[in-house]
Structures are given as C-alpha cells and as structure tokens.
Chain A
Amino acid sequence: MIANEKGVFVFLSFDAMHSWDTLLTLAAPELDRRGLQRLQAVLAPHSQAVVIERHYIDKDYRDTFSQFHSKRFNTPSSRCLRLHFFRKAVGEDSIVAGGDEIAKAYLGYVVIRPTKPNCVGRTLLSSAVRFHQKAHLSVCEESVLLLGTRLKVIGFPFISQDADATVCAQSALWMLLRYYSTRYAWYSEILPFQITNLANHHALGSRVYPSSGLYSWQLAEALRLQRFAPVVYSRNQYPATFDHLLYTYIESGLPLLITVPGHVIVGYGHVSSYDRPWPPGPPVGHLYSSYFNAAWCISDDNKFPYQTLRAAGSSETVDSEFGWPQIEEFIVPLPEKVFLTAEQVQAAIERLWQDPYVGVTAQSPALAERRLIFRLYLTSSRSFKRHLHERGMGNPTVETIYLNLPMPHFVWICEVADFDAYAAKHEILGEVIWDATRNAHEPNGWVALHYPEKLLVDTGSAFNHSQQRITEFPLEPISCYSLFSSNLSSL
C-alpha cells in the first residue's frame, strides 16, 4: 500500500501489490538498483514498511557537498532522502501518536544521497535486523525525530564511500569515529570531509581529494588527531596471537579498523560458539576465551551494515567474502589513559600466574589442577564497580573491598573460570585486576588477585605509596559468579 505518494513523507507497506521495486520507483533518482540491493540484503527479512522522507538535509552529505560536490560543473542536489524502516505497516497517524508499539516497530534509518555509484549515506539500523543471540556487539544509541515523534535506534553507524571525497579509508574512519562520538561525550563529532582533511596534515605531496586512498599509518594518525592513542598490529609480527589480540580488544568494547588486502573495514563484535570441546593435548591448564570465537561482526562500506567475517570466509551474501587469514592488520583506537597494551598485560599476567609466591600453585593449588578459561578485557573501573553488587563477586568481602578500593580510570581484567562452567553458564571463579596506566616492567601493576579462597590486594599502590603492600583476605564461603558483560551488548 502507498499513502501520501506526492507528499514529503510517503508511506509504503510491502504487500502483494507493492514490493521493494516499488521503493526503487518512489525513491528514484537518489536510490538506484545497487543501493536497493544493499538495503534488501539486510532489511528484507524484517521490514514490512518504509517511510520515505523527502528533501532531507543530511549533515554529513551537506558537508561533502559544500566542500567538494558543489565545486563540480555538473552538481548533484544538495538534498537527500531519508528512509525509515519499520517491522510492520505504519501510517502518519500511528507515527504522530507515538507510543510503545511504534517505538518497538522502528528499525532505524538510511540516508540516500544523490551520489553515484554509492548512494547509501549515513545509516543507523538496529543491530537486531542482522545478528542473532550469540552475537556480542559494541553499539550506540541515537534519537530520531520523525513527524514530531522521537524514536530510538540502537546499532553501529554505517556509511558507504562516495568514491570522490571519501573512499573506504575515510568511510571506515567515519563509522568508527561516529560510534565513539555518539556513545562518549569525550569525543567530538566529525563530518566526512573533516576526516578527509585530517589527511592534509600528512599528505606528503599527494592530493587530498579526489581521494586515492590512505596508508594505514595515516588512519592511525587521523585517530591520534581525534584524541585516541592508536596502536597497530600486523599479523606478520604476531603470528601466534594476532586473532586472539583482535578478539581481546573487541571484547573490551573497542571497535577498531581491520585491514585486508587493499581495503579497510570496521570490526565491533564477535559471535562465539561455546560448544567447542577442550582441545586435545594437556588435560589441565588454561585457554583464553577467544578459543570460542567463530566470527567477527563487521561493516564493510562496499557492502551493507552488519556482516559476519568467518574464519574460513563465506559465500553467503550476508557474510564477508574475507576470511581471518586475509586480515593483515588491525588498528586499535585506545583511550589516551591506557598505557599498557593487551599483549603486554597478558605477558605480565601469565608471569604472575606462574609466580612461586603469588601464582596459582602457591595460592590456590586446587585451581592449578583444573581446566580453566581466562577472559582478558579492558574496562573502566567505574563500569566494573557499577556491576559488582548484581554479580556478587563470589563473596561479600570481595564486593566491599572492590567498592572501597581506589582504582585507575581504566583497568585490565583477566577473569578466571572453570572451562565447563564458563561455556555452559558464563560463570567465573576469580579475576586479576591490572592497572592500565602502568608500564609492563612494573611488577606492582596488579591491583588485586582474586582466587576462589583468598583475595590478594595491593593496598600500597591503591593508596599511592611508593611500595606494594600486599594484603591477603581469606574468603569463606566461596561461590561462582557471573562474568562482567557490560563492554558489549548481547541481543
């Protein structure tokens, strides 16, 4: 059904008479066949209706229009279309009335730019359109005003390149930076041409636009100019731990840039299969939780939002064509107060775990004889403390001490869990807390070491003394407790 066909807002419900091709007709000339196919790939199974908002002025497109497209002899329109997708048929009255039903039906929006060959502009679709319950994602929330009604959408921002002012490098940077600025007030919003201009500072004799791409160090430099402290990992240099380190940062709720040959995409989640058995080899010891990872959740500006990148690649339309071995490098936009990187803290924790004084054999011999999972991630101590009470932490003393213990802004946490309990119930037995502002050479970087039967706390560092003062608190009774799950959203 089509309503208000000649209006600013056109209401289209898909039925026997009106298919996605009807949308192509109504949204032409901005929407082309290629753009439609992209939308269908992600939205067709979920969307029953679309509202076409004509003459939409999009801040991101207007930015590239003003700075680049307007300088051409044959200029495209300065205006866009915005498509709002819904799970069920909607009309003007139901949207204006608002309420829970319309809020639940809203799937997000896609701006359609008058640019060729890629018309898909700023997009925020609910991540529920694509990922199932085993996906864990970084997402942000945006408020959208449609016919005076405020609607909410939670997902990961997407944009395709216009192939002139922006290519894949700028589009990937835009997706990443828009996520951070939408989610955290610390990072300011940046528009596409401002991203292109970040390359001005280090163009080294190349023209900035039309863009012929960026070197990956230039992406890292652009992130540095936006208040991040980026670190680059090349697969060649971390042959045994590359995929695990990538997982660790994603598990930390840090969306990042992933490079494949000649191209860059954005990674922001993972899909894990917890039914993998303990591998052949030593019957006890520990594995990292990255062992369960089956795929990354990514957005590729040449495709559509929310693809999965599987270990061996895939020929499914909804999956990325790339496989893990094709990932050459990733660039992590670390917050500026994180001085200790994942591989450094992992090396320190591994050493601590084996230490003859504070390690597992000396302090918790029973644990040393079990099959364990280590889950390493970065979080803010504020977020960590916020969820202590609901998690219980295995013993009330642990909760009280952690709540009272002064901690740095960012902490690395390595949770320790029984392999089977982790896989079946996501329960853990203890954790190591490490100060992310330390350097890896400092043995007093750990804040606390929680074994099931005792808690070791460095009260010396906590109260800013020059030397550690390690205090042991016996714990009784002992119980398992739930893992920290606030870095990523589960569907």
Chain B
Amino acid sequence: MPPVLDIELVPNETAISKPLFADDATYQQFRESFIESMIPELERLQEARRKSEEEARQRLLR
C-alpha cells in the first residue's frame, strides 16, 4: 500500500507550525470534557425546538 501523502497547506508547513496538543492523552481529555459539558445545553435547545414546532401547529395566519 502506498504511504499516505502528508499534504501541506502552506509551503514548508512543518517548519512554521507545531501540533497544538503535545500528546494524544491531552487531546482526548479536551475532547471528552468538551462533549460532556455540551450535553445539558444541547438537550435544553432540543426541547425548545420541539416546543416551537408544537406551537407552530396552533398558529393560524391569514
């Protein structure tokens, strides 16, 4: 299998940039805490959407 080509966004990318996360464990920590902290707000927004659609069934426009 041919090696995956490491495409550069700018010439000499590796020299002028660096990975943000030093290791995979730190990245996973960021990822998991992000997902977990978002859940309550997203559930609240989902409920607001459901109730909005319910109210739209009652609103007659002429």
Contact = CB atoms under 8 A, between A and B. Distances in A.
A343 interface: yes
Nearest to A257: B61
Nearest to A449: B20
Interface string A225-258: 0000001111011100000000000000000000
A357 B26 contact: yes
B23 to A, nearest CB: 12
Interface in B12-62: 13, 16-21, 26-27, 29-31, 34-35, 37-39, 41-42, 45, 48-49, 51-53, 55-62
Interface stretch (A13-21, A208-216, A286-294, A316-324): A208-216
Interface stretch (A92-100, A143-151, A462-470): A462-470
Contact of B38 (A214, A217, A347): A347
A400 B62 CA distance: 52
A423 B31 CA distance: 35
A344 B45 contact: yes
A456 B31 CA distance: 16
Nearest to A331: B56
Contacts of B21: 357, 470
A405 B9 contact: yes
Contacts of A329: 52, 55-56, 59
A218 to B, nearest CB: 9
Given A211-B62, A456-B20, A471-B19, A216 B56 contact: yes
A404 interface: yes
A197 interface: no
B7 interface: yes
A289 B57 CA distance: 32
Contacts of A367: none
A219 B56 CA distance: 9
Given A215-B56, A234-B56, A347-B45, A472 B61 contact: no
Chain A CB count within 10 A is highest, among B18, B34, B51, B59, for B59
A168 B52 contact: no
Among B13, B20, B51, B58, chain A packs the most CB atoms within 10 A around the CB of B20
Interface in A174-224: 211-217, 219-220
Contacts of A355: 30, 34
A404 B9 contact: yes
Contacts of A459: 9
A168 B60 CA distance: 11
A217 B57 contact: yes
Contacts of B48: 237-238, 343
Given A236-B55, A358-B20, A472-B19, A215 B61 contact: yes
Contacts of B42: 344, 347, 440-441
